[in-house]
A and B are shown apart, each in its own frame.
Chain A
Amino acid sequence: MGALARGMPVSRPAVSQHLKVLKDAGLVADRPQGRNRVYYLDPHGLGALRRWLDQFWDEALENFRAEVERKPRQQKEPR
């Protein structure tokens, strides 16, 4: 990221903010490399898909936990 910021007429925090927007949009992804973060293009937007599935499983497992811990007589039979 430092290398990107050096080439820009804006502050390093501003570059960081812009990268975050690009990352949230699934256009770039990043990985740590030593003390730095290396950003790379994610042309297929797969990062966004991954985040979507990440949230999907959060919701699914919370529903699952509630169902497992339901008292047996309250358990819903599949209709």
Chain B
Amino acid sequence: MTAITLAPVRKSVRVKAAPAHAFEVFTARMGTWWPREMKIVTAPLKTVVVEPRAGGRWYERGEDGAEANLGKVLAWEPPHRVVMSWEINQHWRPDATVRAEVEVNFIADGPDLTIVEVEHRKLEVLGAEAGASVRERVDSGWPRVLEHFKAAVDA
């Protein structure tokens, strides 16, 4: 069987803030911007925590106090770089056998400007069963989620 590799998802956003502030919001305040619909816990999402150290946990906490692991902190280099493992499978459940990675770099681009680059890679480890269930989500679920986002952001 031929091994399939997937190109990493690469995104960047330019924000009006120094790298230290951007890093702080990205990590310590992840719960303020993480899309509410993208949750694993059953209860409404309360926050998303990135423990500020290599080896730290990355997890969600629901309003009911239940926690769900997203991954681990692999590299902690404030205010320039953070790398986390993404241990979520194609069914959007915690799965320690999945070791995709999210690397985030914070690059100063002048006074109080930072380019934040996200690379979500090793996506092929998400598993060999990603077919039907994921396609179903993409086709039917995601547009609805986006509408909710827009409503919330525009409100």
Contacts and interface: CB of A to CB of B under 8 A. Distances in A.
B15 interface: yes
Contacts, number: 113
A67 B25 contact: yes
Interface of A: 25-26, 42-69, 75-76, 78-79
Contacts of A66: 33, 153
B7 A45 contact: no
Interface residues of B, number: 46
Interface of A is mostly: helix
Interface stretch (B51-59, B66-74, B76-84, B115-123): B115-123
Contacts of A61: 11-13, 116, 118
B130 A68 contact: no
Contact of A67 (B33, B46, B123): B33
Nearest to B25: A68
Given A45-B131, A64-B13, A76-B32, 5 more contacts: A48-B130, A49-B123, A49-B126, A60-B34, A63-B153
